[in-house]
């Protein structure tokens, strides 16, 4: 296979990865607490010692090496719902209980289930700083949530939301549109969650996705046009090779 074809195919591969990434971000632009995923690329030099010409013995290709999360805080939208809470600072998460263990989210769209338990919009129990579920009863009355995450009602203190951070939030594994977990070799090992004393919780508000739909649509159009351009280059190169083979055949005949 010609070097031009190798280079074009490597470019097409990275462009498809970029398109998938942008599509995922756009699909979650209205997901509360969602963080935009971005890609990292590098040049990869492939060596071919058997190439007849010295200039063809190294081919510089494009390789997507990783994804990273844009952790900037999204817009805080006021909802005036007492159980909606937002984190006004980056790299912090609410702790929730899932069937596979404790996971973390910035989606503070909470509600109370029929049993009086504070849960996420997916029905997962929200945990207190003691690692326990939070319950309300009919006599509690008005719910107040302070900036440090402490919850109180008309009859007194209920508990405090567990808000944590990590040394490197990029190491967190996304398990859903707004859920994250920590990958551990041993399930019994601590996950490195560090409690935050004053996380800046905002009651009656939700953090919107930090995806910029206009920027993402512009990127999608650019990727599509570049992919089409590379495809045309491949078609042109294939046509050139067919013509070359045809002419060589005529000469030998």
| Tens of pLDDT, residues 87-130 | 999 999 999 999 988 999 999 999 999 999 999 999 999 999 99
Query: Strand pairing partners for 59?
Result: 46
Identify whether 93 is part of a domain: yes
Q: Which of 1, 17, 13, 14 is nearest to 59 (CA)?
A: 1
Identify whether 233 is part of a domain: no
Identify whether 106 is part of a domain: yes
Q: Report the Cα–Cα distance between both ends of the chain, in Å, rounded.
A: 25
Q: What is the mean pLDDT of residues 182-201?
A: 84
Q: What is the mean pLDDT of residues 236-242?
A: 68
Domain that holds residue 93: 76-207
Identify whether 236 is part of a domain: no
Identify whether 46 is part of a domain: no
- Least confident span in 57-61, 133-137, 154-158, 205-209: 57-61
Identify whether 32 is part of a domain: no
Rounded distance between C-alpha atoms, residue 192 and residue 168, angstroms: 10
With 90 as the cut, is the pLDDT of residue 1 above it? Answer: no
Domain count across the chain: 1
Look at residue 65 and give its three-state secondary structure: strand
**128 compared with 247, residue with greater pLDDT:** 128
**Phi, psi (5° rounding) for residue 247?**
-70, -40
Residues 6+ apart with CB under 8 A from 50: none
Rounded distance between C-alpha atoms, residue 230 and residue 242, angstroms: 18
**Phi, psi (5° rounding) for residue 215?**
-65, -40
Look at residue 234 and give its three-state secondary structure: helix
Q: How many CA atoms lie within 13 A of 140 on its CB side?
A: 17
Whole-prediction pTM:
0.78
For 25-122, strand residue ranges (E) read: 37-47, 58-69, 76-78, 85-87, 93-98, 101-105, 111-112, 118-119
Dihedral angle of Cα 46, 52, 54, 58, to the nearest 10 degrees: -10
> What are the pLDDT digits (tens) for 33-88?
999 998 876 665 555 555 554 545 565 666 666 788 999 999 999 999 999 999 99
Identify whether 38 is part of a domain: no
Confidence band, pLDDT 50/70/90 cuts, at residue 6: low
Per-chain mean pLDDT for the chain: 85
Q: Which of 79, 96, 97, 75 is nearest to 87 (CA)?
A: 75
Identify whether 192 is part of a domain: yes
- Length of the chain (residues): 253
Residue 66 CA: distances (Å) to CA of 14, 21, 63, 170:
11, 11, 9, 11
For the chain, percent of residues with pLDDT exceeding 70: 81
């Amino acid at each position: 296979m010609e070097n031009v074809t190798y280079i074009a195919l490597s470019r097409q591969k990275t462009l498809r990865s970029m398109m998938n990434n942008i599509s995922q971000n756009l699909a979650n632009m209205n997901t509360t607490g969602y963080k935009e995923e971005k890609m990292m690329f590098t040049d990869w030099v492939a060596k071919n010692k058997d190439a007849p010409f010295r200039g063809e013995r190294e081919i510089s290709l494009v390789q997507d090496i990783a994804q990273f999360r844009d952790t900037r805080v999204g817009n805080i939208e006021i909802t005036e719902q007492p159980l909606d809470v937002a984190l006004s600072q980056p790299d912090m998460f609410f702790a929730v209980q899932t069937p596979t263990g404790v996971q973390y989210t910035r989606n503070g769209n909470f509600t109370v289930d029929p049993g009086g338990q504070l849960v996420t919009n997916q029905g997962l129990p929200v945990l207190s700083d003691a690692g326990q579920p939070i319950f309300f009863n009919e006599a509690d009355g008005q719910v107040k949530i302070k900036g440090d995450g402490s919850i109180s009602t008309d009859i007194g203190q209920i508990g405090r939301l567990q808000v944590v951070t990590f040394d490197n939030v990029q190491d967190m594994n996304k398990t859903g549109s707004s859920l994250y977990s920590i990958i551990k070799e041993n399930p019994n090992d601590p996950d490195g969650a560090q409690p935050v004393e004053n996380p800046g919780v905002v009651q009656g508000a939700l953090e919107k996705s930090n995806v910029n739909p206009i920027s993402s649509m512009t990127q999608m159009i650019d990727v599509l046009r570049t992919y089409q351009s590379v495809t045309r280059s491949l078609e042109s190169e294939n046509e050139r090779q067919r013509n070359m083979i045809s002419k060589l055949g005529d000469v030998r005949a």
